[in-house]
Structure 1
């Protein structure tokens, strides 16, 4: 096909080349619109019957693509571009008078290209798998139910990606060359499709129905999750179909063991994947109905009550894809966890989940920077931990986990044994010749191990930094200079109580002097009240001493948290390719481009694995990391003690205030009784805030005593506040030499 430019349409480049045709990109220079054109190539080896059949399929594909209007299906544009341009393309088409197929252009390439990237050798990230399965599930249901069409050639090559201007990634199904109308009463008999994606009944009986698309989607799902096809793809077609026919209902994969010369049937996905445990467990169950070898029951489940089979292929997948999965990294064990959250799940329910799976009873939650939440609140529900945008935990803007958890009872973390894939244990030191397909499996296992260890290290280091930032934030909220904060409330209450105690003591003293002048000796009575007054003074002195200690330790904790939060060690270690993962990926790229002999490939894997194990020991057990975790944990635990001191002191102050109020009332009442007993009628006792004075008059005795006991407290509080401020200034002058590192019991 000799193409150039036509009017505003300019040929940009070739997008793809296949056995029957090729695809080109065009752009309208006036509007900026981009389109793709699909054309057939000349093929002199086809028989007349094959030519007729190919022409029929081409016409049908063009018509269907024009008619199909769905968000997850590539749309045909033959009827929407200028007829002159269509005529120009048709003139240059090798199969005149067939029109080339004009369709919308998806600028992100196809899914096959994504799977071939070395970073995806163990499959795609979970959030991408979810997006793709969501798109394909809706595309297939639309074809089956709305259009009565079965695709018959589902594979990653026929799923294209469009990167929208708003940042969304849209996956669309294309290539309807093998599609056919669904027949009601007859089984289709033509053998079409692509090996390893086509259902077994197509290959061994040629009798099948639209459930062939269920099988193909199951194969695609498996490959997306781990980078491998499930059923011994390296073997001959006969062996593949024969062993699939042997598999039981729960089997979702078959591998070959070259040591024991046998095939192994699996009910679980290989561990070399990037899925969360929650998603993996559910998708494994769904795969059992998608990969049911019986095409009559495929996609259905037996209802125990009715003994009838019901189609659950779509509803089961919808439920799985709708799950909110919280990814959590537990610092003391250096492990990832994942839990499904629901709207009904309470914070207590979540705590029980954590306790059940981790053994942590007293957990401390750490929210990554940018999380909608900042600190844990009893008003939260479990769903509040989930962040939709952070499902891609390998995106540069997303943290490794949505939540970090520490155990408040721990001061040291545990370094667990590395997770070594079974293929490395079995074949890494093999002496016999390793076939090419198994070498790729070993490379996949090596890449998974390096990537898994790198992710674990990044998550731990990121968690420690977030821990320090969280502690800095929490301690800062206790800042005494901010009104309404607990520490400010504590200091204010302490100062206020100091003034009230002094007022009470002055009231007792003033009353004693008045009694001595007007009534006579009342020593026994006042000795009792002086004992109470001195007890109040002792208690407030004790609390004042504790206040100084609280202030010092508050400043010490804040300083240590700040220093830890800005420590460059965290970023250096996080950004370091500690386990040479990038270096190994460059090796894999070389293997893709040029032929590397089997011995060199196996040796590269062996070197990478042993280097990783050695570096892992150095990295995770380094004194820097041990100190960082121990130090920030101690800051947290000591700050908890500090808060307890403040809370207990506030309760003591409240209790003291109640006692002081009651004592004042009791003292007031008894003084009145004394004055009445002394028959004092013409002398009034008053207080001006500085000295006692007596006024002649016939005022009521109770009013006289009331005036006495309402000693002006404001000047006294100002005096005490000034003393405390001076104490803080003197303390700050010596803080560099006198700030403690830890808090005592």
Structure 2
């Protein structure tokens, strides 16, 4: 059987046709054994083609594809000679054999309904970085693409990540200082000089890049999309350097914009960066697009690395932008942070932005933050940044004083949407499309922020519960100290009571009794505070567990409800109907009905259950912080009271010591000297010796048990605790009485 057949060659077989363009078509081939896939592009001459010109362009494209090797440019692939010869017979004069990028192109991404108002920030960063790398590499090789557009940015999955690759080098040209003008490429991504000038430079690629960056952020091209080329050129000629978009309203008014549209999915900080950067690639003057970083004169073909457009873009892409969602006012904030930013400065800025007093701010950390468990005075804001967290905020914040600041369902409604809802009317098709687009963004943002809020609430509850759980060790420490102190008090007071008569007789009881009464009063306060604090801690711990259990039980249900209510399929269908329907008024009625139904069903901001849980978590947090303060203070008071008790016990011990030694001395020196043998054999007259022996034994035991004391220090400590030895003091008391 021949290795060749209509559908393939050997193990290689054609799978399907992927698409076709002005001068070629692309087919997908796959190896049945290795499963390798290839995209094979063949030349297709249009009916009115210039065979010589098209042939030269085709040869250039193949040559450029083989020459340029970069991860963000579609690569040509070498195949066995036999297979290559077969393909050349099938696709004369010669096919372009390329790697297959299986995830489509950027245009298909932009056409997804969730991207009608632009793409998420993580995707935008990825696309911009890939596009930047591809352009810089091509220009460094002296080649200008001249036809950069979403259709020519294809996507390949590499190690689970989407990599964007520039393709279709059919219009690429080697760069001299200028290129002879020819209307190649796609009109909507043309730089103005491509149409109006006799020649242009490689900066036309920078313009195309700027248009694409704007489009992936806002979901629409920046300059009069859908308008005729005459309007396009006439308005661009008058464009101010700070203008990055021009629109035409439903009542035919032209408006210049120096900022990105508010309907987008990027963080405010990233948005501000891009608004400044976009002025460079979208400058009508091509020389300003290629301005040097040092603002020096541009001559010849400058190195891409020396250009401001790429240096500023690199800074933007490397910026550590911290995203913060505020539960209190349902808003997203972002900050460019670095090692030099202090905690105090960050909290001051956050307090101003959120309108929450700095002392009332509660910083909530998600479980993805493995650096710190709590944002304390020893931490820096840079520790809040999480490099690989893209679909959720890196930090949440709220206030422990109240719940949501504004429960109105008009939060997030744009002026365009509010005006249309107020009039319950749309002016014309263009106005209807604009209103529908704003409605889609509103519903999308409500769902996105409600999801953030639920995650913030769960993280808040878990974080506080974790603090409480870890604090249990401190409460146990407080309890252990309390019972030790209480035991020492009881022993001290017992010994004081047992030796009261002796102390009174020796005139040393008054001071000891007075100090003891003060000590007892002090301990009563500690006892009362200890019982109340321990009980409150147990209560807080129990309530925290109950709250988390309740939140966990309803969490997924809440997320499902949010996803269901905020599904944008219906408003997207209305948007598409406005584009093609004959009766705009009927579709407008459907849209207003949809919005009214959405408001009725949008339970989130008025959910009693969610508010109750948030209030409960906030109250637990506040009470726990009070308990923390009290426990720390109580431990300090117990330490001070124990030290005071030790001093009093030492005084008591010293008094008894003096009484015991003076009694022994009197027995020897008095006029009636007892029998010496009897005294030596009697334990009563050896009290001082026994005390010394016990003191030394106790001190040695303390040192051997690992206490970090010298023998002298241990002996002094032993004196203060020997009062707890009831057997010893029974013998001392009997000795003194005799």
What range is the shorter-chain TM-score in? Answer: 0.7 to 0.9
Q: Secondary structure at the match of 2:284?
A: coil
2:143 equivalent among 146, 149, 170: 149
In the TM superposition, residue 151 of structure 1 has moved relative to its aligned partner by 0.4
Q: After superposition, give the CA deviation of every residue in 1:357-380 in whole Å (9 maximum; x if it has no partner).
A: 223312222222343143334443
Give distance in 1, aligned partners of 2:457 and 2:387.
23
Matched, 1:15 2:1: no
CA contact (8 A) 2:647 2:720 kept: no
Q: After superposition, give the CA deviation of every residue in 1:565-624 in whole Å (9 maximum; x if it has no partner).
A: 1223332222213644244266269659986753454334333333334444x4302222
Aligned to 2:253: 262
Give distance in 2, aligned partners of 1:307 and 1:42.
44
Give distance in 1, aligned partners of 2:619 and 2:139.
61
Aligned to 1:445: 438
Q: What TM-score does the superposition give when structure 2 sets the normalisation length?
A: 0.85
In the TM superposition, residue 255 of structure 1 has moved relative to its aligned partner by 0.7
In the TM superposition, residue 42 of structure 1 has moved relative to its aligned partner by 4.5
Aligned to 2:243: 251
2:95 equivalent among 100, 105, 112: 100
Moved more, 538-547 or 266-275: 538-547
Q: After superposition, give the CA deviation of every residue in 1:66-119 in whole Å (9 maximum; x if it has no partner).
A: 111111100112xx11222222222222xx3x2111101111110100000111
Q: What TM-score does the superposition give when structure 1 sets the normalisation length?
A: 0.84
Q: Secondary structure at the match of 2:136?
A: helix
Matched, 1:300 2:300: no
Q: Mark the CA change 1:565 to 1:206 in structure 2 (over 3 Å): closer, same or farther.
A: farther
Give distance in 1, aligned partners of 2:719 and 2:58.
107
Q: Mark the CA change 1:308 to 1:187 in structure 2 (over 3 Å): closer, same or farther.
A: closer
Moved more, 121-130 or 349-358: 349-358
> After superposition, where does 1:614-653 map in structure 2 within 5 Å?
614-616=600-602, 618-653=603-638
> After superposition, where does 1:438-477 map in structure 2 within 5 Å?
438-477=431-470
Aligned to 1:345: 341
Give distance in 1, aligned partners of 2:647 and 2:40.
92
Q: Secondary structure at the match of 1:603?
A: helix
Q: Considering only aligned residues, what root-mean-square deviation do their CA atoms show, in Å?
A: 2.9
Q: Mark the CA change 1:335 to 1:446 in structure 2 (over 3 Å): closer, same or farther.
A: same
Q: Secondary structure at the match of 1:581?
A: coil
Moved more, 461-470 or 282-291: 461-470
> After superposition, where does 1:189-228 map in structure 2 within 5 Å?
189-228=181-220
Q: After superposition, give the CA deviation of every residue in 1:436-495 in whole Å (9 maximum; x if it has no partner).
A: x5544333211111011111212222211221112221111123xxxxx21111111111
In the TM superposition, residue 387 of structure 1 has moved relative to its aligned partner by 1.5
In the TM superposition, residue 190 of structure 1 has moved relative to its aligned partner by 1.4
CA contact (8 A) 1:497 1:653 kept: yes
The structure richer in helix per residue is: 2
CA contact (8 A) 1:189 1:208 kept: yes
Q: Secondary structure at the match of 2:523?
A: helix
In the TM superposition, residue 412 of structure 1 has moved relative to its aligned partner by 5.7
Q: Secondary structure at the match of 1:566?
A: helix
Unaligned runs of 5+ in 1: 394-399, 480-484, 684-692, 717-745
CA contact (8 A) 1:252 1:287 kept: yes
Matched, 1:129 2:128: no
In the TM superposition, residue 298 of structure 1 has moved relative to its aligned partner by 1.5
Unaligned runs of 5+ in 2: 300-305, 669-681, 696-717, 728-738
Aligned to 2:85: 87
Give distance in 2, aligned partners of 1:664 and 1:713.
9
In the TM superposition, residue 672 of structure 1 has moved relative to its aligned partner by 4.9
Q: Secondary structure at the match of 1:300?
A: coil
Give distance in 1, aligned partners of 2:632 and 2:21.
74
Aligned to 2:592: 606
CA contact (8 A) 2:325 2:333 kept: yes
Give distance in 1, aligned partners of 2:434 and 2:426.
16
Matched, 1:274 2:259: no
Larger radius of gyration: 2
Q: Mark the CA change 1:708 to 1:502 in structure 2 (over 3 Å): closer, same or farther.
A: farther
Q: Secondary structure at the match of 2:340?
A: coil
Give distance in 2, aligned partners of 1:219 and 1:427.
30
Moved more, 104-113 or 588-597: 588-597
1:160 equivalent among 137, 154, 160: 154
Give distance in 2, aligned partners of 1:530 and 1:712.
16
Q: Mark the CA change 1:614 to 1:453 in structure 2 (over 3 Å): closer, same or farther.
A: same
Aligned to 1:690: none
Give distance in 2, aligned partners of 1:698 and 1:88.
115
Aligned to 1:322: 318
CA contact (8 A) 2:291 2:298 kept: no
2:30 equivalent among 17, 20, 27: 27
CA contact (8 A) 1:325 1:338 kept: yes
CA contact (8 A) 2:244 2:258 kept: yes
Q: After superposition, give the CA deviation of every residue in 1:337-358 in whole Å (9 maximum; x if it has no partner).
A: 1112213333333223322322
Give distance in 2, aligned partners of 1:189 and 1:106.
32
Moved more, 647-656 or 154-163: 647-656
Q: After superposition, give the CA deviation of every residue in 1:126-177 in whole Å (9 maximum; x if it has no partner).
A: 01100110011011011111x100000001100011112x211111100001
Matched, 1:140 2:131: no
Aligned to 1:55: 55
In the TM superposition, residue 703 of structure 1 has moved relative to its aligned partner by 4.1
